[in-house]
Chain A
Amino acid sequence: MPSVTTFTTSFISPGALSSFIATAPTMRSEITSEQRSALAERFRQVSLPHHRRLDAWMVEQAAGQSSPFRWSPTTARRVLGNAALRLRFTQQLSPVVAMDEVIVDHLTRAATGYSRRGSLSSWLSELSTAQLALVTSDALNWSHALEEIARSIEESVEVADADAYYDVATARTTLRGRRDLIVATESTCTLIRVRSGAPGRTAGAGLRADLTIDAFSRPDGQVASQIIGVWPDAGLLLRVEGSMADLRAGARDLLRVANLQHTAYFQRALTS
């Protein structure tokens, strides 16, 4: 009988997140090189002529069409907010000073020619002061929300340095797993993802995909004990445990998206 994923939900309240972290499973699974090869083989079967990037959002939307990406205060807030909080934790700066440092760093990169066209630095450098203030305000909101979550955890927390990326060998596919906070204890590792709005019916599958990508991106293949999705707007927490069954389900979801894209691409090619 196939194992089923167990999603655990809770309302946000003082101590709720800490209690999820304290009860993380201590047994941790590991990805073997055979499993990596098997995944690559499956992705190669549904590859596209061009490079593609898959993430949890595409799993949640079942590869549905989304509008083309453009930088806006909303799309920039997570990158800037996470960077500012990381700086605040390491250098003990005030939230506003940390955010200013991050933005100045981006503007300097653009001014000295170290940013490519279409990057966040280049977009920020084209904004007026009022627009930059709006971007700062949104990023500070994100940073405050993330800090509030981090401070509600009793264990020591670190802001993730970057998202997890895994290049599937010779399948022209990159998997991107988002993670905002990492709580590592002696025997457990918890990933935390902060999301806007309210969780939909596919939110659990999205978290499972992030957990899977994170495990594949680690050279030692260690799977995190659990991933917790935090929806501050809805006051909800959702937990997915890092069992091998969850990992397989996560990989299947990602392959399903790849397959949908593959089918759609060749159908378009046939009709045109």
Chain B
Amino acid sequence: MTSTLDSVTVLQALRGNRAERPAPRTTDAAHLRAALEDSLYAIDGPQHFFNPLVLRTQELRELPLDFPASHYSLARIRGILMHHALRLLSVGYSFTDPFEDLLSAWRCEVGESDLLEFVDHLDAEDRAKFATEIAAHTAALRHGLGTFGSGWSLRSTVRVANLLCSGAVALRDTIDLSIDTSDDGDCATVLLDITTAPLDENSEKVLRFHALNQTLRTGVTPLRSAVLSTATGEQLVAEVDAALLTQAVADLLEAAERKCRA
């Protein structure tokens, strides 16, 4: 796993050297599914038939986040707006006023929401501060990402809902950006997650969780998985191999055990 700050853009790091790409691996998914189902059944048993045990990225975190309510709302809104920024950048949109552009895009998607109302009720000073913060994160995102190749197939906000143990366990995930850069059948799907917080140990777990979910969902192991922080510009890029996927299974089982105990 490599963690870098500004040396190369995250897209360059994800793309890597085309000549060195391995052939697509199509056998990992079955092994992983079997390993996960055996262990999850041992942890949880069949009691969740009608209310499945749902595991998301937030369940991977050992300690829950503890922030005041207002901070939590603003952090969530910042995260939502940055995801929208990535979606817009993926279709080549150039921002004039990032905060207003992103807010209007978000409004178009959800119509009415409590969080949108929260933004609408910010006083002028708080709103201006928040708008500046969003502009800074958007600039960091644009700078950290780099340019998309014209022939790449980009999918933003890829939702994943892998069902295990006959639906008794559901792995839910949202991969911020999935890029397919293949042109001659090589292994070329790379995954990107963006966060508005600085990178920490949890970022590695998130990166592995995405790789595991993508493997289970498509039956093909992705090439690389990365996390980019728009707070620090730092990026974490990992090659997806058997060791990384095994560690992802271990992270998940640990989270499932914690959730069942709670």
Contact = CB atoms under 8 A, between A and B. Distances in A.
A240 interface: no
Interface string B94-124: 0100000110110011110000000000000
Contact of B93 (A72, A133, A144, A235): A133
Contacts of B24: 14
Contacts of A133: 87-88, 91, 93, 105
Interface in A93-151: 94-96, 127-131, 133-138, 140-141, 144-145, 147-148
A184 interface: no
A198 B161 contact: yes
Given A12-B219, A131-B108, A231-B161, 11 more contacts: A11-B29, A11-B219, A13-B29, A134-B109, A138-B87, A144-B153, A145-B155, A198-B161, A233-B161, A234-B160, A234-B217
A200 to B, nearest CB: 9
A76 to B, nearest CB: 10
Given A14-B26, A130-B104, A141-B156, A235 B217 contact: yes
Given A72-B108, A133-B105, A96 B91 contact: yes
B136 interface: no
Contacts of A70: 111
Nearest to A201: B167
Interface of B: 24, 26, 29, 33, 84, 87-88, 90-93, 95, 101-102, 104-105, 108-111, 150-151, 153-163, 170, 180, 216-220
B contacts with A: majority SS: mixed
11 contacts: A12-B218, A13-B219, A128-B108, A133-B105, A137-B87, A140-B91, A231-B161, A233-B160, A234-B162, A235-B162, A235-B219
B104 A233 contact: no
Given A72-B111, A235-B162, A137 B156 contact: yes
A129 to B, nearest CB: 8
A137 to B, nearest CB: 4
A96 B93 CA distance: 12
Interface of A: 11-14, 16, 70, 72-74, 94-96, 127-131, 133-138, 140-141, 144-145, 147-148, 196-198, 231-236
A218 B153 CA distance: 35
Given A14-B26, A233-B160, A141 B155 contact: yes
B157 to A, nearest CB: 7
Nearest to B219: A13
B219 A95 contact: no
A258 to B, nearest CB: 29
A13 B26 contact: yes
Given A196-B159, A235-B162, A130 B105 contact: yes
B104 A131 contact: yes
A153 to B, nearest CB: 15
Contacts of A130: 88, 93, 95, 101-102, 104-105
A133 B116 CA distance: 20
Contact of B155 (A136, A144, A196, A198): A144
B159 A73 contact: no
Contact of B109 (A72, A141, A231, A235): A72
